[in-house]
Structure 1
Amino acid sequence: MRRPLALLLALPLAVAACSPAGPPAVDTTPTVGVQLFQWPWRSVAKECTDVLGPHGVGFVLLSPAQEHIEGDQWWTSYQPVSYQLESKLGTREEFAQMVEACGDAGVDVIADAVINHMAGIDGGVGVAGTEFEHYEYPGLYGRDDFHTCSLTVSGDIENYLDQQQVQECELVNLADLDTGSDPVRDTIAAYLDDLTSLGVDGFRIDAAKHMSAGDVEAIVGRLQGDPRIISEVIRGSGEPIQPEDYLDAGAVFAFQVAKDLAGIVPGGSVHRAVELRDGEVPSDDAYTFVTNHDTERNGQTLSSKDPDEFRVATALLIGIDYGTPVLYSGYAFSDRDAGPPSSEGRVEDVECAEPSEDPADGAWLCQHRDVLGLAEWAAVVGDAPVANMWREGYAVGWDRGELGLIAVNDSSRPATVRVSTGLPDGEYCDAAGPVAPPTTRDRCAEGGVVVEDGAAELQLPAMGAVALHVNLRAG
């Protein structure tokens, strides 16, 4: 999606408002994305307009848009019964309006494409009224369009070291599409092209690991235009299917980065963050995250239930020069199957909850708003490399070229450090921390950080970060 010229010009001016007498602002390229998990389309549209666009977020990752089985659980969204754009998140018209609103705000839209399978129940009626049976979806697919697995007694995947099982048997009874079939590929491509026709900019390929890399590539090759592709392929030690296999179709999610952050932050080894690229796919092919909707439920990564560590990990994720970071925004839950607040089969509009150490189930947490200053910082530093790295106790930091500096404190106590930096001399405001409603603050009113003769003294908050960039300087 082409970004409005007015928006590209406005962003550097907005973030440079504290420095009217300083050097001109550098051009910015919004890169950081936000996964708005289970957010309804009307709320996504409002967030794009009011928050994400104005604060340098490059794209939003949605939950699935197609018709699905009935039920309040979040995973019902991942059990398609038709490719109608009618779901608990909204109507086709609301979806189209949301995509347009996000585009006008300069925010790309990435749809979650569930194309490996259909529903995992014997039959019923979808949320838009479509009647179906297992392996029979009228006007869409019949029994011959699905794999028949004879490799296991149950028909489900039992051994992830067996590539054929992973890609031809069923994942917990979900009807597994034969994505090697040309008619199936054509039907899937038509569905994705429909989304593209409404302005969608790209797709997260759900459960890509459960389709052969060749099948994914063949489907992507049928698509109109040049959508952004991000495949979900979880790296498993010793497994025959790895993320690198899918790079011919596009980028992949770097799950190992999230798992490594969950180890180095509680372990006091934050200096190892710059090594997270080791053994991973190239930076341009990697989408990185601290948590997502699956990992926050299975405990494999940090989450908002670990607020201090989550904050530190997010700063590290954005601070390193590897991958495209994706922030996460969800809701509070004690039952891992629980969906968001709903009424009459529809997810209610999002109202961000006040910060709390013990949020009520269903409270919209809006975690992304707490770190949008870092998204702005990332838009300024772009792909500038890590330089001048330093380490002092549990604090670590580095420059990103001559455009920005970030420092992270992984200690329960504040820290004062004096560091060398390549930033030009001047007085800088701290870009870290919340900037969006309802937590708007004047970051320059809190006092600046003086860079003089290539050195700066930083006051680091406990379990927090300081981030400086050339577009946010004190007047």
Structure 2
Amino acid sequence: MSRRSRYTGVTIATVSALLLAGSAMAQPAADIPSDEPSITTPIGSSEAVVHFFQWPWESIGRECTDTLGPAGFGAVEVSAPQEHVVLPEQGYPWWQDYQPVSYQLDSRRGDRDAFADMVAACDAAGVEVYIDAVINHMTGLGSRSTGSGGNTFDHYEYPAVPYGYNDFHHCGRHGDDDIRDWADRWEVQNCELLNLADLATENDYVRGRLTAYLQDLLNLGVDGFRIDAAKHMPAEDIAAILAGLDGSPKVFLEVIEGGPGEISPTEYTGLGRVTEFRYGYEVGARFADGNLGALQNLESHLLLESADAMTFIDNHDTQRNGQAPLTYRDGARYRMAQAFNLAHAYGAPHLLTGFTFDDHDQGPPADSTGMTLSAVDEAGNCLSGWDCVHRERTVLNMVAFRSAVGDAPMTDWWGDGSQIGFGRGDRGYAAFNATDGELSREFTTGLPPGVYCDVANGDYLNGRCTGPTYEVDDSGTLTATVPPNGVLAVHVGAKI
């Protein structure tokens, strides 16, 4: 059963405005009447979302029960569940899953029953489920093949949906229909991305098929969607697809910022939160080079307003294409950056946990048929080949910090080059030390007096702390030590 709340997100009035605006649309106005029916529900700033990239359904269900629920994670994003191409001759690369064959729930991660069981397990643990919705295109294969669910297909023929030739764009440019000019809006949204058959999302029939797919997922208890490749669809097309749903899912959209004259992420903020790619580049770079003091004016370097942004240090693409300054391979500095993402007030945090890899095309751990292997064993241990970054204390315990501070403002910034600290009103305080030596000092905070557990270095359980504890005096002064290349975090939910 879904736990979607019913506060106003994107309304029918917004959809009407988008449809009237057409391809020249601007960012939708914010003054929408609160009594209009809502087609989406906003993702709250205190909700932490973790992307279990390529994890199989059974392992995600177990992790929701054993780890995410108890830690207070708001939601888990799972990889695309629909039937997809199968590419054994290329070693079952990760990206085969982004080439849909049908909207049957039969992927290398499990079948429909396994998916439904995972959603139910996460729901029982209090963790919402978002799926990676690939609705811009189908496959890039030019010859007849068979998908992961056994259905046959061709480049522009998908009998299991069904789609035929006229359900796709055929832009007639460059001899191969591929996108070349990224500053040409029409071309970006009507030609093919890397030969992937581009759905005619302005077509009522296509919209109906996509709405039916998303509705099926909602009926199974899914709570929200990450819209893949959103910039390749006009915002009004996405709005129309979402408007047909019975329910108001939480939505965020992948929109990669381009250069001058290109489609902007700001055009999609009326539909839900939008990926703020600048965040990962800026925060990741500062934790990589240690110049943490430069983050004091972080928002001045970003494109989106805080209420519109989904923030991340890396995602499954930037982790592989070299654009992320930090990834799981960078150890402590990466974990520090993830903790900063959870501690800072800007945006809604999105974390990544996936599998280790040596080649950027490499798929997840799999058997000889390409089916994904379990990520955890019967005892709950993380298995070889999976990075399980979300289990690191510096990351895991900061989820409760995020919940405890809520929407409290940024306060009491202190910064000295590679060492910074800041408060979240009277709810929490965090400090970061990007040096090889300890940082011991007095920090000015807004916290009430008392003794607090440092949740970045210990666990708060049943009123006790397994790590360091520190006292805040009557003036709000916290005297504490931050470990080398480490984090300190205290909050009112972990008061002794």
Q: Normalized against structure 2, the TM-score is what? A: 0.85
Structure 1 residue aligned with 2:304: 281
State the AA in 2 paired with 1:44. I
Q: How far does residue 94 in structure 1 lie from its aligned partner after superposition?
A: 0.8
Q: How far does residue 345 in structure 1 lie from its aligned partner after superposition?
A: 3.0
The answer to whether 1:80 aligns with 2:80 is no
State the AA in 2 paired with 1:240. E
The answer to whether 1:146 aligns with 2:146 is no
Counterpart among 29, 44, 49 of residue 33 in structure 1: 49
User: CA deviation digits over 1:285-306, x for unaligned, max 9?
Assistant: 2111111111100111110112
Structure 2 residue aligned with 1:309: 333
Q: How far does residue 44 in structure 1 lie from its aligned partner after superposition?
A: 0.6
Q: How far does residue 338 in structure 1 lie from its aligned partner after superposition?
A: 0.7
> Residue 457 of structure 1 aligns to a residue in which SS?
strand
Q: How far does residue 272 in structure 1 lie from its aligned partner after superposition?
A: 3.2
Structure 2 residue aligned with 1:368: 390
> Residue 176 of structure 1 aligns to a residue in which SS?
coil
Structure 2 residue aligned with 1:454: 476
Matched residues, percent identical? 43
Q: Is the 8 A contact 2:107 2:149 kept in 1?
A: yes
Structure 2 residue aligned with 1:2: 3
> Residue 402 of structure 2 aligns to a residue in which SS?
helix
Cα 1:392–1:159, aligned 2, differ >3 Å: closer, same or farther?
Answer: same
**How far apart, in 1, do the equivalents of 2:415 and 2:237 lie?**
46
The answer to whether 1:216 aligns with 2:238 is yes
State the AA in 2 paired with 1:215. D
* 1:170-319 paired onto structure 2 within 5 Å: 170-278=192-300, 279-301=302-324, 302-319=326-343
Q: How far does residue 220 in structure 1 lie from its aligned partner after superposition?
A: 1.4
Structure 2 residue aligned with 1:57: 73
**How far apart, in 1, do the equivalents of 2:168 and 2:268 lie?**
22
Q: How far does residue 222 in structure 1 lie from its aligned partner after superposition?
A: 1.5
Q: How far does residue 366 in structure 1 lie from its aligned partner after superposition?
A: 0.3
Q: How far does residue 221 in structure 1 lie from its aligned partner after superposition?
A: 1.5
State the AA in 2 paired with 1:66. Q
**How far apart, in 2, do the equivalents of 1:55 and 1:266 lie?**
27
> Residue 339 of structure 2 aligns to a residue in which SS?
helix
Q: How far does residue 327 in structure 1 lie from its aligned partner after superposition?
A: 1.3
> Residue 174 of structure 2 aligns to a residue in which SS?
coil
User: CA deviation digits over 1:180-203, x for unaligned, max 9?
Assistant: 111111110000000000000010
Cα 1:136–1:129, aligned 2, differ >3 Å: closer, same or farther?
Answer: same
Counterpart among 325, 328, 334 of residue 349 in structure 2: 325
User: CA deviation digits over 1:379-426, x for unaligned, max 9?
Assistant: 100110011111134111111010100001122222112111111111
Q: How far does residue 442 in structure 1 lie from its aligned partner after superposition?
A: 10
Q: How far does residue 2 in structure 1 lie from its aligned partner after superposition?
A: 2.4
Counterpart among 404, 419, 425 of residue 395 in structure 1: 419
Q: Is the 8 A contact 1:29 1:380 kept in 2?
A: no
Counterpart among 86, 90, 100 of residue 70 in structure 1: 86
Structure 2 residue aligned with 1:105: 125
Q: Is the 8 A contact 1:413 1:461 kept in 2?
A: yes
Tell me, which stretches of 5 or more residues in structure 2 are unaligned?
A: 6-43
Q: Is the 8 A contact 1:270 1:394 kept in 2?
A: yes
Report which stretch shifted further, 277-286 or 329-338. Answer: 277-286
**How far apart, in 1, do the equivalents of 2:227 and 2:464 lie?**
38
> Residue 347 of structure 1 aligns to a residue in which SS?
coil
> Residue 478 of structure 2 aligns to a residue in which SS?
strand
Cα 1:237–1:116, aligned 2, differ >3 Å: closer, same or farther?
Answer: same
The answer to whether 1:346 aligns with 2:371 is yes
State the AA in 1 paired with 2:191. C
Structure 1 residue aligned with 2:454: 430
Q: Is the 8 A contact 2:404 2:427 kept in 1?
A: yes
Structure 1 residue aligned with 2:185: 163
Cα 1:38–1:392, aligned 2, differ >3 Å: closer, same or farther?
Answer: same
**How far apart, in 2, do the equivalents of 1:210 and 1:2 lie?**
31
Cα 1:29–1:471, aligned 2, differ >3 Å: closer, same or farther?
Answer: farther
Q: Is the 8 A contact 2:457 2:468 kept in 1?
A: no
The answer to whether 1:46 aligns with 2:62 is yes
Report which stretch shifted further, 227-236 or 261-270. Answer: 261-270
Structure 1 residue aligned with 2:10: none
State the AA in 2 paired with 1:212. P
**How far apart, in 2, do the equivalents of 1:76 and 1:164 lie?**
26
**How far apart, in 2, do the equivalents of 1:165 and 1:443 lie?**
59
Q: How far does residue 63 in structure 1 lie from its aligned partner after superposition?
A: 0.2
Structure 2 residue aligned with 1:92: 112
Q: How far does residue 335 in structure 1 lie from its aligned partner after superposition?
A: 0.9
State the AA in 1 paired with 2:47. T
**How far apart, in 2, do the equivalents of 1:135 and 1:276 lie?**
45
Q: Is the 8 A contact 2:471 2:478 kept in 1?
A: yes
Q: Is the 8 A contact 1:372 1:433 kept in 2?
A: no
User: CA deviation digits over 1:324-367, x for unaligned, max 9?
Assistant: 10111011111111111111331111138xxxxxx99x611100
Structure 2 residue aligned with 1:136: 157
**How far apart, in 1, do the equivalents of 2:102 and 2:176 lie?**
26
State the AA in 2 paired with 1:385. P
Q: How far does residue 150 in structure 1 lie from its aligned partner after superposition?
A: 1.8
State the AA in 2 paired with 1:142. G
**How far apart, in 2, do the equivalents of 1:153 and 1:412 lie?**
56
**How far apart, in 2, do the equivalents of 1:411 and 1:78 lie?**
41
Q: How far does residue 472 in structure 1 lie from its aligned partner after superposition?
A: 1.0
Q: How far does residue 47 in structure 1 lie from its aligned partner after superposition?
A: 0.5
Report which stretch shifted further, 183-192 or 259-268. Answer: 259-268
Cα 1:174–1:66, aligned 2, differ >3 Å: closer, same or farther?
Answer: same
> Residue 493 of structure 2 aligns to a residue in which SS?
coil
> Residue 436 of structure 2 aligns to a residue in which SS?
coil
Q: Normalized against structure 1, the TM-score is what? A: 0.89
Structure 1 residue aligned with 2:138: 118
Tell me, which stretches of 5 or more residues in structure 1 are unaligned?
A: 5-27, 353-358
Report which stretch shifted further, 58-67 or 269-278. Answer: 269-278
